Chains A and B, each alone.
Chain A
Amino acid sequence: MSTSLSLPAVRKFAFDLGGSRWVSPIVFLLLWELGSRTGLIPERTLAAPSAVVSTLLGMVVSGELPSNVLVSTLRALVGLTIGVTVGVVLALVAGLSRSGEATVDPLMQIKRTIPTLALTPLFIVWFGIGETPKIALIAFASVFPIYLNLYSGIRGVDLRLIEGARSFGLSRSELILHVILPGALPSLLVGLRYSLSVSILVLVVAEQINASAGLGYLINNARDFMRTDIIVVCLMVYAILGLGADWIVRAIERRALVWRPSIVGQ
C-alpha cells in the first residue's frame, strides 16, 4: 500500500504542510536582520534578531531572566487561582438557584461594565504599590470569563438529559453531580482559557506599577536604558506564557472531554 505513494509526492506533501508556512516568517526575520546590519533600522529603535538572541542567552545564563519570569508567573498564578475560585463559586450560586441568580447576576453584570484596568488607581490607593494590587487586579479580571461561561454552561445543560435522569429518581445533589456539572464542564474550560489570557494581559499592565522584580520590572529598566533587545526578549516571554497557558487548557480538555466524538473518533 505504502509503495503507491511516490517519494516526490510525500516531499511535496511535507512541504505544503510544514515548509510553506515557515517561509514568510523566516524571510521577515532575514529582512529585519538585514535592515539592522545596514543601519536602516537603528539599534535604539529596534535591536537586530541576532542581538536579541544573544541577549536572551546571556539573560538565561546569568539567571536574570528565569528568576524574573518566575516572579511574574507566580503573580499570574496566584491572581488567577483566586479569580477562578471566586468565579466558579459565584457561577454555581447563580446557576443552581433562582435566588442566587437574582442576587449575584446583577452585581456581576455591573462589574462587567467596569474595565478592570481603570481600577488601577483605586487599587493603588487601597493596597499600596506592593504585590497586593497586582494580584488583586489579575484576580478581579479573571473572575468574569469563568463566571459567565460556567453560569451559561449550567443553564445550557440539555433539559432532556436532566429530565431523563430525574425519571430514574436521582436526587437534586446527584443530579448536579452526575448531570449538570459534567454538562457544564466544556463551558468552564472555555472560560478558563479566556481567564488565562486575560490574566496575562492584566499582568503586563499591573507589573508596570513600581515593580522591583518580574518581567515588567525588566521592561521598565530596559526602557530607561533604551535596551530594545531586552524589551523584545520580554515580549517574547509574554508570548510564550500565553502559548503555554493555552497549551495547558488544551491538555486539560483532552483529558476531561475524552467522551466527545471529535476526540473519541481519533
Chain B
Amino acid sequence: MDARLSFLADHTIAEPVLTPAAPLVRLKNFSRSFGANTIISGLDLEIAEGEFVALLGRSGSGKTTLLRTLAGLDDVRGQDVEVPSSRAVVFQDARLLPWKKVWRNVALGLKGLTGRVRLKAEKALHEVGLDHRLDAWPLTLSGGEAQRVALARALVREPKLLLLDEPFAALDALTRLKMHDLVLALWKAHRPAVLMVTHDVDEAIALADRVLVLDQGRIVAQECIHASRGERGEVSRGLRAKLLSVLGGEPGHESVIPFPHGAHAHEAVA
C-alpha cells in the first residue's frame, strides 16, 4: 500500500522547460527479485512528458513487474526510482467494482461534492463514448465497454503518467482497432506520458513513439518511430521483422542489440 517512491515534487515539473530532456519517469539501475529469482536487473528507463512508449516482451520477461513498480503497487525502498504521483493504470481485466454503477467506478477515489464528481465522471464517460451507460452495472458491460470505462476511470484523474497493462489483449480484433483509435485520440487530447505493456508487435508499432523490448529483466532493444501514425505501413514491415527477431532471438544476446539505421527507424542501444 505504501510504496515509498521518491515522487517528483510538483514544482520541478512546473519549472519552465529549459531542459526538455528532464524525464517524467526515471529508473536507474533498477533491480527486482523475488527470493532467488531475479525478475529485473540493472534496468535504466526514462520516459519524457507526453511520450507514448510501448513495452514489448514475452511472458515472464518482467513487463508486469516493471509496470507494477511504476504504478506504485510494489515496494521500491532503497531504489533510484522517480515516478510522478499523478498516474493511473488500466489493467487487462478492467477491474471495475461490480457493486458500483459505471459512473461511480469512474469516480472512485475522487474527492469533492457528489454532484461535481458525477459531472466529472459523466464528462470522462462522454469522451469514451459511453454516455448511455452511466448508470449501468459493470457486469452487464461488454469487454470493450468495460475497457472504455477503465480508460475513463484512468483519465478522469488527469494523470501525468498513464500505464496500460495489455489493455486490449482480451478484446476481439475489430474492437481492438477501435480502441487503438480511441486511445490515440485521448492521448492527443490530454497528453499524458503513456507506458503501454503489450505482446502485440503491430499494436506497439501502430501506437507508440518508442518501442522497448524487455527480456530477462533487461531492455534488449529500443526503436524510435518518427513516421506519423497512419503513415507507418512502410516502416512497419521492416520494424516488425526486426522486433520479432529480437523477441524470438536468444535472450539477452549482445549481438542482437545494435540495429542498422533504417530510413525511418532510429536506433538506440539500451
Interface residues, chain A, with chain B CB atoms under 8 Å away: 160-161, 163-170, 172, 174, 178-179, 182-183, 185, 258-261, 264-265
Contact = CB atoms under 8 A, between A and B. Distances in A.
15 contacts: A160-B93, A160-B95, A165-B108, A167-B71, A167-B88, A167-B89, A168-B108, A170-B109, A178-B97, A178-B108, A179-B97, A259-B99, A259-B138, A260-B98, A264-B137
Contacts of B73: 163, 166-167
A160 B91 contact: yes
Contacts of B88: 167-168
Contacts of B1: 166, 172
Contacts of B157: 168
Given A169-B109, A174-B109, A182-B99, 14 more contacts: A160-B93, A161-B97, A164-B91, A165-B109, A168-B108, A168-B153, A170-B108, A170-B109, A178-B100, A183-B99, A258-B137, A259-B137, A261-B140, A264-B137
Contacts of A165: 97, 108-109
Interface string B80-110: 0000000011010101011110000000110
A208 to B, nearest CB: 43
B116 to A, nearest CB: 18
Interface of B: 1, 71-73, 88-89, 91, 93, 95, 97-100, 108-109, 137-140, 153, 157
A178 B157 CA distance: 18
Most buried by B among A160, A165, A166, A265: A166
Contact of B109 (A168, A182, A264, A265): A168
B208 to A, nearest CB: 22
Given A167-B72, A167-B88, A259 B98 contact: yes
A185 B97 CA distance: 13
A33 to B, nearest CB: 51
A264 B108 CA distance: 22
Contacts of B95: 160-161, 163-164
B140 A264 contact: yes
Most buried by B among A167, A179, A261: A167
Contacts of B139: 259-261, 264
Most buried by A among B73, B97, B140, B153: B97
Leading 9 A-B pairs by shortest Cβ distance: A164-B95, A182-B99, A167-B89, A168-B109, A259-B137, A261-B139, A259-B99, A170-B109, A167-B71
A164 B97 CA distance: 9
Contacts of A174: 109
Nearest to B159: A168
A261 B146 CA distance: 15
Where chain B touches its partner, the secondary structure class is: loop
Contacts of A182: 97, 99-100
A261 B99 CA distance: 11
Contacts of A163: 73, 95
Contacts of A259: 98-100, 137-139
Contacts of A164: 89, 91, 95
A48 to B, nearest CB: 52
Contacts of A167: 71-73, 88-89
Most buried by B among A168, A169, A170, A174: A168
Nearest to B72: A167
Contacts of A264: 137, 139-140
A258 B157 CA distance: 28
Nearest to B104: A178
Nearest to B139: A261
Most buried by A among B72, B137, B138, B153: B137
Contacts of A260: 98, 139
B192 to A, nearest CB: 15
A183 B99 CA distance: 8
Nearest to A174: B109
Nearest to A165: B108
Contacts of B97: 161, 165, 178-179, 182
Contacts of B109: 165, 168-170, 174
B53 to A, nearest CB: 18
Contacts of B72: 167
A244 B91 CA distance: 44
B210 to A, nearest CB: 23
A215 to B, nearest CB: 39
Nearest to A183: B99
